[in-house]
C-alpha cells in the first residue's frame, strides 16, 4: 500500500508558484488510500511539491507550462546539474546586485525572446526542447521576481516585475536552491517518471485502471494568469472528465475563506467525499489574496483513507 502515508518532513522544490501545496502535502498523503500498482498522474504539476514529496515509483507529470517541464527534464537528464546551477545563479546574482531592476528586466526580456523550442510527436505529445541555459534563466527569474509569482501574459511571456531585492542571491540562498535541486534529482533517480508539456486532457486520456490521478487545477475565482487562462467552463469539463475516469482520483481546490465560499464544489463535485484543511497562502500579488483559506480535497469514495 503506497498511500496513506505519514510525512513528517516536507521538502520544498526549487520552483515557487502561487497555490504551491508544500504545506498541504501531509494532509494529501494521509487522506488518500491507493495501492500504488499503476502510475501516479498529475495533470497540473505546478511546482511539483506533491510529486517530489510522495515519490511514487511510476509517474506521469504534466503541465502546459513548458518552462516547468523543460526545467525538470533538464535536471532529470543531467543537462542542468547542481554545479552548473550554482555557478549560474552566483554569476547572475552578482550582476543583479550591481544592476538591480535594470538587469532583471534585461534577463526577463532575454528569456521571453528565446523561450522554449517545442515540437509535436506522432502521438500528439509535446517534445519540449528547452536549452539548459533557458531553464537556468527561468529558475533565476522565478526566485528573484516579485513575491515568488509565476505569471505569463497572453503571448506566453513571463511578466512578473522585479522583487526589489538586488542582493537576493546570497551564498546561503544559492546553496538553498542548489540543495532543493539536488533533492529533486535524488527523488527522480531510479524512478520511472515522465514529464510532458501537454494539455490536461492528454494526461487524463493516459489514465488506466490501477493508476491514480491527483489534480491541482488553477482555482476558479483565484489566480488565472499562471500560464493559461482558466474558466468556469474549463473547470466543469475537468470535473466531468475526472469523474468518468476508470481509476482513483483526488482533486485539490479552495473551499472557502473569510469572504466567500466556492460554489463550484457543490455544483461540479457534489456527492463525492471531501476532506478539508486550513491553509495560509504567503504567495500572492495582493494582500487580499493572502488570507487564511480552507482547502478541500475531493476524493473518489473507494480511495478515501479511513
Is residue 257 within 8 Å of 293, Cβ to Cβ? yes
Contact 299, 273 (CB under 8 A): yes
**Quick one: average pLDDT of 160-166?**
96
Residue 171, domain member (yes or no): yes
**Residues in Cβ contact with 133 at an 8 Å cutoff, skipping those fewer than 6 apart:** 88
Q: List Cα–Cα distances, 96 to 109, 131, 165, 227, in angstroms.
A: 14, 22, 9, 25
pLDDT digits (tens, 9 = 90+) for 91-134: 999 999 999 999 999 999 999 998 755 444 445 455 557 899 99
> Which tens digit of pLDDT belongs to each residue from 10-36?
999 999 998 889 999 999 999 999 999
- Domain extent for 34: 22-64+198-303
176 vs 170: CA distance, rounded Å? 10
Whose cell is 511571456? That residue is 157
Residue 12 included in any domain: no
> For the chain, what percent of residues have pLDDT higher than 70?
89
Strands 248-257 and 292-299: what pairing?
Answer: antiparallel
Do 77 and 178 lie in one domain? The reply is: yes
Q: Are residues 146 and 231 in the same domain?
A: no
* In the predicted structure, residue 223 carries a pLDDT above the cut 90: no
Provide the grid cell at 3. 498511500
Same domain, 50 and 82: no
Average per-residue pLDDT in the chain? 91
Are the C-beta atoms of residues 116 and 70 closer than 8 Å to each other?
yes
Question: Which pLDDT belongs to residue 124?
Answer: 45
Overall average pLDDT of the 58-72 stretch? 97
Task: CATH number of the domain at 165, please.
Answer: 1.10.1020.10
* Structural domains counted in the chain: 2
Q: What CATH number did the domain enclosing 44 receive?
A: 3.40.50.150
Same domain, 204 and 59: yes
Whole-prediction pTM: 0.91
Amino acid at each position: 500500500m503506497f498511500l496513506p502515508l505519514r510525512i513528517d518532513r516536507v521538502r520544498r522544490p526549487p520552483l515557487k508558484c502561487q497555490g504551491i501545496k508544500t504545506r498541504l502535502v501531509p494532509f494529501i498523503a494521509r487522506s488518500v488510500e491507493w495501492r500504488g500498482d499503476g502510475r501516479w498522474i498529475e495533470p497540473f504539476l505546478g511546482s511539483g511539491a506533491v510529486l517530489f514529496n510522495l515519490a511514487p515509483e511510476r509517474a506521469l507529470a504534466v503541465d502546459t507550462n513548458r518552462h516547468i517541464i523543460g526545467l525538470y527534464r533538464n535536471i532529470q537528464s543531467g543537462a542542468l546539474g547542481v554545479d552548473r546551477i550554482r555557478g549560474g545563479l552566483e554569476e547572475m546574482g552578482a550582476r543583479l546586485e550591481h544592476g538591480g531592476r535594470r538587469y532583471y528586466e534585461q534577463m526577463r526580456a532575454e528569456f521571453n525572446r528565446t523561450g522554449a523550442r517545442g515540437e509535436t510527436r506522432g502521438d500528439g505529445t509535446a517534445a519540449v526542447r528547452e536549452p539548459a541555459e533557458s531553464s537556468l534563466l527561468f529558475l533565476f527569474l522565478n526566485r528573484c521576481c516579485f513575491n515568488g509569482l509565476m505569471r505569463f501574459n497572453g503571448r506566453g511571456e513571463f511578466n512578473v516585475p522585479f522583487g526589489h531585492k538586488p542582493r537576493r542571491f546570497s551564498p546561503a540562498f544559492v546553496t538553498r536552491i542548489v540543495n532543493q535541486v539536488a533533492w529533486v534529482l535524488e527523488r527522480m533517480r531510479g524512478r520511472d517518471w515522465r514529464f510532458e508539456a501537454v494539455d490536461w486532457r492528454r494526461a487524463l486520456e493516459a489514465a488506466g485502471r490501477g493508476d491514480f490521478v491527483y489534480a491541482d487545477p488553477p482555482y476558479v475565482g483565484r489566480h488565472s494568469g499562471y500560464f493559461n487562462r482558466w474558466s468556469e467552463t474549463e473547470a466543469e469539463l475537468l470535473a466531468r472528465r475526472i469523474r468518468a475516469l476508470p481509476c482513483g482520483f483526488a482533486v485539490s481546490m479552495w473551499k472557502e475563506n473569510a469572504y466567500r465560499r466556492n460554489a463550484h464544489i457543490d455544483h461540479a463535485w457534489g456527492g463525492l467525499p471531501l476532506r478539508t484543511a486550513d491553509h495560509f497562502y504567503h504567495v500572492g500579488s495582493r494582500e487580499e489574496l493572502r488570507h487564511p483559506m480552507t482547502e478541500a480535497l475531493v476524493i473518489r469514495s473507494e480511495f478515501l483513507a479511513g
